[in-house]
Amino acid sequence: MKSARQAVVKTALWLCSMLLALLSAPCAYAAGNQLQPYAAAGSAPAAPWHVVGLPQQTKPFTRFSVVDIDGKRALRAEAVESYGNLVHALNLERTAAKLSWRWRVELLNTAVNLRVKEGDDSALKVCALWDLPLENVPFVERQILRVARSRTAEPLPAATVCYVWDAKLAEGTELDSPFTHRLRYVVLRSGDKPNGWFSEKRDIGADFLKFFGNESATLPPLIGIAVGADADNTHGRSVAYVADLLLE
């Protein structure tokens, strides 16, 4: 019973961290892209990108910085026994949405195991955050969301899909977070890739309907895009890069 309560609290804190990012960053869009660029090289990511962790987080934050590497302007994410997300707030109501990016991993955390709570870390993930009416959410998960909402007067994103570069799981693996069914993982890349950068393009609207279509037959508002890296559960370290993030 105690472990179940702890899981509910941790899930609520994760949801709150996403909400804090969404509320603190103003919506502004670059021409031809619904996402603003990170910033100039050698600096921290600029608004509306915003780094957040858990409420009252005492563990280290994942370090996000803007660098030039391999002739590209990229976001560097270094996790050292840390937790953190870089979030761009949105408020888009659309009938379709596609997200593309390029990424590479310099150092994988081989202790990661996304199937269990103590291994739930990632060297790099790109996530789409969706709004959803509470009444659409299954009963048990609705109670978890109620706990999260009790910590704020604002509504919380209720459905998240994260595209992950994992250390071991086979590419194409799809699974729930061990902490909450409101977060689904899709493993796009796995293991060390010595050839550098890899390109991705996802129909994130279709992915939402695949994972949450039993709760909503149409796309709800897309309220954020997040880049994350963490190593707090495994007490490990990872280094990765993402570039050319484009939302169409």
pLDDT (mean) for 114-131:
96
Task: Report the range of poorest mean pLDDT among 60-64, 98-102, 136-140, 224-228.
Answer: 136-140
pLDDT at 94 over 60: yes
Q: DSSP letters of 79-122? A: EES-B-EEEEEEEE--S--EEEEEEEEEE--TT--TTSGGG--E
What percent of the chain is modeled with pLDDT above 90?
A: 61
What is the reported pLDDT for 160?
A: 94
pTM of the model: 0.85
What tens digit of pLDDT does each residue of 152-175 get?
444 457 899 999 999 999 999 999
| CB under 8 A, 24+ apart: contacts of 184-188 | 184/160, 184/211, 185/114, 185/125, 186/161, 186/162, 187/114, 188/163, 188/164
Q: Where is pLDDT greater, at 27 or 202?
A: 202
